[in-house]
């Protein structure tokens, strides 16, 4: 297996510290409110835009921060360390939506859309449907050619950022008989007639992050809003999700780190039987195992991100990152509740929230089973 590349540049260290300060000072005081209201306040999202977190890789000529993919991963990790739900808009915006434009957008599309995404417009990635989750490319949303336009009709489900989004990357098929070769990616503006955002799901975890249905009722989309080429949507989605899985890994790395830090602090303060509970070997071993697991995830995550930046293959590393990170996040969050004891299962304790937040990572952007399929396929093709 390739060696992890984890050295930080000075710029990355400064950036990471800036995001950490923002998360601790601006997000932490509002976590309980956001969880209770199942909503992320617009003013907080605006602060993320102002800080450059919603356009990290967008070139400066389009109003972005001109940063790197690795910096996006660092930002996601640091935000998730305080609240995984707060990290999701930044993750989706950078690793899925902006990435689509940077890779496959025309000069005209970059000019029209990247400045909006850098300044104040949240993007959403609309792929999943009721009958196409893991089997994502059995989607039914149709795109019918009509002169210089396409007419899109269908329903998307479980779409992150949908409630706040101003732009949607929508996947639809121009030819159902062609299977995945008919799938095409379209840029759809929220203001286009016929697009509506439906109910917001009442979720187990990451409650402040919106997850909604998106309804397309004969939405007229100009052909110049096709991302890539007609019939190329399958390729766009697969390659983008390979990167998105590293982002999910960063979410879960941040979650596990935050859960562990809280448990360690509690173990140093809580007394039982005349001593700090952190002095008991059983607690020490539990924390040692959690710390080792978190370090393992960090190596996977950073290595996959560095490989992507270096132009090396990273599909297997991305899948491994998501697989390991999603499992470790749930396991670490659960074991940290053991450190807290009774208070750990109450709403007063963030460990309870971290455990609920962790579960979704084993589902979205490719389930655990799909990651295993991908890893097995690549191992059989390339060797260990």
Q: Which residues are catalytic?
A: 365
| CA distances in angstroms from 95 to 30, 136, 143, listed in the order given | 25, 18, 25
Residue among 286, 272, 285 nearest 337 (CA)? 286
The rounded distance, in Å, linking the Cα atoms of 213 and 219 is: 15
Are residues 202 and 188 in contact, defined by beta-carbon separation less than 8 angstroms? no
The rounded distance, in Å, linking the Cα atoms of 141 and 172 is: 5
Sign, Cα dihedral of 181, 187, 192, 196: positive
- Residue 179: both structure tokens together: 């299977």
Q: At what angle do helices 69-82 and 281-309 cross, to 10 degrees?
A: 150
With b for 16 or more beta-carbon neighbours within 10 A and e for fewer, the 139-163 pattern comes to: bebbbeeeeebbbbbbebbbbbbbb
Please name the residue that has the structure tokens 């191992």.
Answer: 379
The rounded distance, in Å, linking the Cα atoms of 41 and 54 is: 15
- Residue 201: both structure tokens together: 């799901």
| CA distances in angstroms from 152 to 96, 130, 216, listed in the order given | 21, 17, 6
């Amino acid at each position: 297996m390739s060696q992890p590349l984890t050295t930080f540049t000075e710029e990355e260290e400064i950036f990471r510290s800036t995001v950490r300060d923002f998360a601790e000072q601006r997000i932490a005081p509002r976590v309980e409110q956001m969880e209770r209201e199942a909503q992320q306040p617009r003013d907080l999202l605006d602060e993320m835009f102002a800080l450059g977190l919603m356009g990290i890789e967008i070139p400066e000529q389009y109003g972005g921060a001109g940063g790197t993919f690795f910096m996006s991963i660092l930002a996601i990790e640091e935000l998730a360390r305080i609240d995984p739900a707060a990290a999701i808009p930044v993750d989706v915006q950078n690793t899925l939506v902006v990435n689509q434009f940077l890779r496959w957008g025309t000069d005209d599309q970059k000019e029209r859309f990247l400045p909006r995404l850098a300044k104040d417009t949240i993007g959403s990635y609309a792929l999943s449907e009721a009958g196409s989750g893991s089997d994502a490319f059995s989607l039914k949303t149709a795109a019918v050619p009509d002169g210089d336009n396409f007419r899109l009709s269908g329903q998307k489900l479980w779409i992150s950022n949908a409630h706040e989004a101003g732009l949607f990357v929508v996947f639809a098929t121009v030819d159902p008989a062609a299977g995945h070769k008919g799938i095409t990616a379209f840029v759809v503006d929220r203001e286009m007639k016929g697009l509506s955002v439906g109910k917001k799901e009442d979720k187990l975890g990451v409650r402040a992050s919106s997850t909604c249905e998106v309804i397309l009722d004969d939405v007229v989309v100009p052909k110049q809003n096709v991302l890539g080429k007609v019939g190329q949507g399958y390729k766009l989605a697969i390659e983008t999700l390979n990167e998105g899985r590293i982002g999910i890994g960063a979410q879960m790395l941040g979650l596990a780190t935050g859960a562990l830090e809280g448990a360690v602090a509690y173990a140093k303060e809580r007394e039982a039987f005349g001593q700090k509970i952190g002095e008991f070997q059983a607690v020490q071993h539990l924390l040692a195992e959690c710390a080792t697991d978190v370090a393992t995830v960090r190596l996977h995550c950073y290595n996959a991100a560095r490989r992507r930046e270096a132009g090396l293959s990273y599909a297997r590393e991305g899948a491994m990152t998501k697989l390991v990170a999603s499992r470790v996040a749930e396991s670490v969050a659960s074991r940290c509740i053991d450190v807290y004891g009774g208070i750990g299962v109450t709403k007063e304790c963030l460990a309870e929230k971290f455990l609920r937040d962790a579960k979704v990572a084993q589902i979205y952007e490719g389930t655990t089973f799909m990651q295993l399929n991908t890893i097995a396929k690549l191992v059989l093709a390339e060797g260990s």
